[in-house]
Chains A and B, each alone.
Chain A
Amino acid sequence: MSHDENSLEALLHSGFRYALSLTHNTAKAEDVLQDAWLAVLKAKGPHQRQYLFSAIRTRFLNVYKREHLVVLVDINEAQPLQAQEEFEYFDMLDFHHVDKALAELRSAEREALFLMAVEGYTAQEVADFTGQARGTVLSHVHRAKIKVRHFFDTFNIEVRHGK
């Protein structure tokens, strides 16, 4: 496989993962990605990650806002993290559990988490990309961690007691 083919494949996989962070549904993620990719090709846009991500985000908001699956709520109480928090999980829970935990999050929370943890964006870069305040982005990540930790803590408790 040529370098160009490798690059395109990697770009499309990244786009799929980003769409998955928004939708948390494989079929919907594929739909959004295909729609966005078609738009990129028709517009002769650059085959770059941020351009594709932007097209994906636009289509996701257009489609799922209409279906009322995207709730745009202003976060008035922005709570920036005081320090890097690390959640230690003594169980290496498999992806099935991570999947269930992520299903508990709102799309905005998963999106912020994905862009920072997977794509390596800083909070400011996420803010610039999504048009939100930096404090809002940090709140999304903070809430995401709390919700995921609550899910795992509950699961671990059930495991220890054999429930």
Chain B
Amino acid sequence: MENKTFENNIKDYYVSKELSPNMLARLQTMQDVDTQHGNKMWRFLQAKPYIAIAASMLLVVMLGVQFMVAPSPQQLMGSVVKEVVLNHQENLAIEFAAHDYDSLAKAMNKLDFTIKAPSVIQMADYTLLGSRYCSIQGHIAAQMKLEDKQGKAMTLYITRLNDDLAMLQGKQQQHKQLQVKTWYEGELFYSLAYPK
């Protein structure tokens, strides 16, 4: 038994609280992608023009061998699947409760795209419960929570399509008792996670 001051009790309590490893990894991933696409390198090159010239020459060479370093569709699919499964299993609370995509599209005004119901899912077979913000490969995304007629939870992710994600058209992969499908329609990339 020991006597502790009030402040020490409170401090010890909060210091014992930490982000889950999954959540920490997710936030760090967002930071890593932002750094890669940020303007740190640009400021550096502006300050050292001779390095900028050398970097330009290197870029020309790298473009010639780009196919050797860009992620393969299999690698990218693996990465997306892990992210989607992680988000599904975290089962974080929805931020916007609604049963139709139009209402959620109006509510989620931080997205840089407009969410639309995918044509491949027959909406009559599922109940849309709501949505929350998330990220896919560092890009802001909408996570939609759905339920099938047996009450099984499914999550649908929607984000803006880019060249990398376009490689995942019509792909499917299983991971940890979940099946994950990926496809795109128009300018939107979709990924659906559902129990096997």
Q: Does B124 contact A (CB under 8 A)?
A: no
By the criterion of a CB under 8 Å from any partner CB, how many residues of chain A are at the interface? 43
**A60-94 at interface with B (beta carbon < 8 Å):** 63, 85-93
Q: How far is the CA of A44 from the CA of B14 in the complex (A)?
A: 28
Select from chain A the residue with minimum beta-carbon distance to B28. A8
**A30-50 at interface with B (beta carbon < 8 Å):** 30-31, 33-35, 37-38, 41, 44, 47
Asked if A86 meets B5 with Cβ closer than 8 Å, knowing A12-B27, A38-B133, A114-B10, the reply is: yes
Cross-chain contact of B92 among A31, A41, A47, A86 (Cβ < 8 A)? A31
Q: How far is the CA of A28 from the CA of B38 in the complex (A)?
A: 29
**B34-61 at interface with A (beta carbon < 8 Å):** 34, 38-39
Select from chain A the residue with minimum beta-carbon distance to B13. A98
Q: Does B135 contact A (CB under 8 A)?
A: yes
Establish whether residues A44 and B132, one from each chain, have CB atoms under 8 Å apart when the complex forms.
no
Establish whether residues A34 and B13, one from each chain, have CB atoms under 8 Å apart when the complex forms.
no
B155 shortest CB reach to chain A, Å:
15
Establish whether residues B1 and A91, one from each chain, have CB atoms under 8 Å apart when the complex forms.
yes
Select from chain A the residue with minimum beta-carbon distance to B3. A88
Select from chain B the residue with minimum beta-carbon distance to A44. B38
A: which residues have CB within 8 A of B?
Answer: 5, 8-9, 12-13, 16-17, 20-21, 27-28, 30-31, 33-35, 37-38, 41, 44, 47, 63, 85-93, 95, 98-99, 102, 113-114, 116-118, 145, 148-149
Q: Can you list 26 A-B contacts (CB < 8 A)?
A: A5-B28, A9-B28, A12-B27, A16-B17, A20-B17, A21-B14, A27-B93, A31-B92, A31-B93, A33-B27, A35-B133, A37-B31, A44-B39, A63-B95, A86-B5, A88-B3, A89-B4, A91-B1, A95-B12, A95-B13, A98-B9, A98-B10, A98-B13, A116-B7, A117-B14, A149-B6
By the criterion of a CB under 8 Å from any partner CB, how many residues of chain B are at the interface? 39
Contacting residues, chain A, for B132 (C-beta < 8 A): 31
Asked if A92 meets B28 with Cβ closer than 8 Å, knowing A30-B23, A38-B140, A114-B10, the reply is: no
Q: How far is the CA of A93 from the CA of B2 in the complex (A)?
A: 10
Q: Does B122 contact A (CB under 8 A)?
A: no
Establish whether residues A41 and B30, one from each chain, have CB atoms under 8 Å apart when the complex forms.
yes
Q: Does B177 contact A (CB under 8 A)?
A: no
Cross-chain contact of B24 among A9, A17, A86 (Cβ < 8 A)? A9
Establish whether residues B135 and A145, one from each chain, have CB atoms under 8 Å apart when the complex forms.
no
Q: Does B15 contact A (CB under 8 A)?
A: yes
Establish whether residues A113 and B4, one from each chain, have CB atoms under 8 Å apart when the complex forms.
no
Bits for B89-128, please: 1 = Cβ < 8 Å to A, else 0. 0001101000000000000001000000000000000000
Q: Does B75 contact A (CB under 8 A)?
A: no
User: Which 7 residue pairs across A and B have the least CB separation, nearest first?
Assistant: A117-B7, A87-B6, A98-B13, A117-B10, A41-B34, A16-B19, A118-B14
Contacting residues, chain B, for A35 (C-beta < 8 A): 133
Establish whether residues A37 and B27, one from each chain, have CB atoms under 8 Å apart when the complex forms.
yes
Establish whether residues A92 and B17, one from each chain, have CB atoms under 8 Å apart when the complex forms.
no
Establish whether residues A86 and B6, one from each chain, have CB atoms under 8 Å apart when the complex forms.
yes
Contacting residues, chain B, for A85 (C-beta < 8 A): 6
Contacting residues, chain A, for B5 (C-beta < 8 A): 86-88
Establish whether residues B31 and A41, one from each chain, have CB atoms under 8 Å apart when the complex forms.
yes
A139 shortest CB reach to chain B, Å:
16
Establish whether residues A8 and B31, one from each chain, have CB atoms under 8 Å apart when the complex forms.
yes
Select from chain A the residue with minimum beta-carbon distance to B110. A38
